[in-house]
Amino acid sequence: MSVNDKLAAKQIEEGNLYKDARRGTVYCRLIYLTTQVAVLKTNQSSNRQAGDSHRFEDREQFNRMVQAGRLSPVEEDDIPADVKVPLMPVEQKAETIEFEEVDGVGSRTAEALNDAGISTDIDLQQTDDEEIIECYGMSERKLENIREYVND
């Protein structure tokens, strides 16, 4: 049995990764599944910009897309290193970060991070360093201070 045959036979379950055949660099992780709905976290937003977004599919439609090869199961090891893979939601209690208590972080930076939806340790953990530095104009040192504060 080939690798592709093994992947095609793989059971549909939460945590599986799929590649969207119509949009070559779009990967989806199945994060929630019931008899009626499938929720996928993707590595590309609906306007084709980089960044996580969610897709909601009718379960029967999702099954048809997998069977037809529109969404093909993939293993994480087979995804190019430069592609951000959607993560499973973390099953832990989120701790709010008091950014202004961090050395070098002022009210403007704290407000920008909160406005961007980065307000907890989990939000920070699931956001790429490069994205934070590029999008919010933060220095690497300031980001390092925030990560040290969160990890203490």
Any idea how long the chain is? Answer: 152
Helices 129-136, 107-115: inter-axial angle, 10-degree rounding: 120
Of residues 92 and 102, more confidence is placed in: 102
Specify the pLDDT at position 152: 78
Residue 109 and residue 60 share a domain: no
Q: Is residue 64 part of a domain?
A: yes
Of residues 108 and 47, more confidence is placed in: 108
Q: Is residue 84 part of a domain?
A: no
Compute the distance between CA of residue 8 and CA of residue 2 in angstroms, rounded to an integer: 10
**With 50 as the cut, is the pLDDT of residue 54 above it?**
yes
Specify the pLDDT at position 11: 81
Residue 55 and residue 116 share a domain: no
Q: What value does the mean pLDDT take over residues 72-79?
A: 85
Residue 47 and residue 103 share a domain: no
Compute the distance between CA of residue 18 and CA of residue 74 in angstroms, rounded to an integer: 5
Give the count of alpha carbons within 13 A of 76, CB side only: 8
Q: What value does the mean pLDDT take over residues 64-68?
A: 91
Summarize pLDDT for 14-43 with one digit per residue, the tens.
888 898 888 777 888 888 889 899 998 888
Percent of the chain with pLDDT over 70: 82
Specify the pLDDT at position 64: 92
Q: Which domain holds residue 105?
A: 99-151
Q: Is residue 31 part of a domain?
A: yes
Distances (CA, A) of 111 to 100, 115, 124: 9, 6, 14
Examine the fold and report which residue of 17, 45, 78 is the final residue of a domain before the chain moves on: 78
